[in-house]
Amino acid sequence: MGSVGGAEGARLRKPSWKDPRLLIGMLLVLASIAGVVAIVRAAETRTTVYAARDDIGVGQDVNPDDLVGVEVRLGDAEPRYLTDPTALAGRVAVQRIAKGDLVPVSALGSADGLGRRPVSISLTEALPASVVEGARVDVWVALPDGRNGYAEPKLLVPAAEVAHLETSASALGGQRETTVHVLVDPQQLPALLGAQANKAKVIVVWNPTGRLP
């Protein structure tokens, strides 16, 4: 009986701090706590990225003065946005960036690689309110017919992006004129510029879908 009681006492004895099982258990708990802390800290990490102070049009030079720093949590998406304004030297916007939007790295490029060129079109007709910077429009052209009229309009530049809008009135308060700057591919430039040089009537029509015909 004495030996049995001694065995039971040994099994019920509190483990010593030198017990390897206790040390292993403590290490596992500490490792678990450290992992949770690391995850929380990573989730709370904020990065300074840059947003547009005002609207930035396609082809516009982008300088640090055009941007404002914003503290955000982006996680894995951080490389997609501008975090270093010193990398802007010689860069232009290759797509429109609206005021307050974070600046994607993909929206910046060189002027040589821009491809599309802005062409100004003066209009006296009112444009729909939906025609804003970044909207898509179809540019139609009606050439003079030689009889004080115009030939049937033809679609010349489909789904052109509006880069900028300007509205002005004559000094005498006459008819308001809107100048629409649209982005045109190089192969479309000769026809559009030729039509303007020949005093063609140019019509701009809102393209709500932005799709090519």
Q: pLDDT class for 210, splitting at 50, 70, 90?
A: confident
User: How far from 101 is each of 47, 49, 53, 98, 184, CA to CA, in Å?
Assistant: 15, 11, 9, 6, 25
b vs e for 22-31, b when ≥16 Cβ sit within 10 Å of the residue's Cβ? eeeeeeeeee
Q: pLDDT class for 172, splitting at 50, 70, 90?
A: low
Claim: this prediction has a pTM higher than 0.75: no
CATH 3.90.1210.10 describes domain 47-109? yes
Higher pLDDT among residues 156 and 29, named by residue: 156
Q: Is 85 helix (H, G, I), strand (E, B) or coil?
A: helix
Instruction: Give the model confidence (pLDDT) of 22-51 as tens digits.
Output: 667 677 777 777 666 656 555 556 788 888
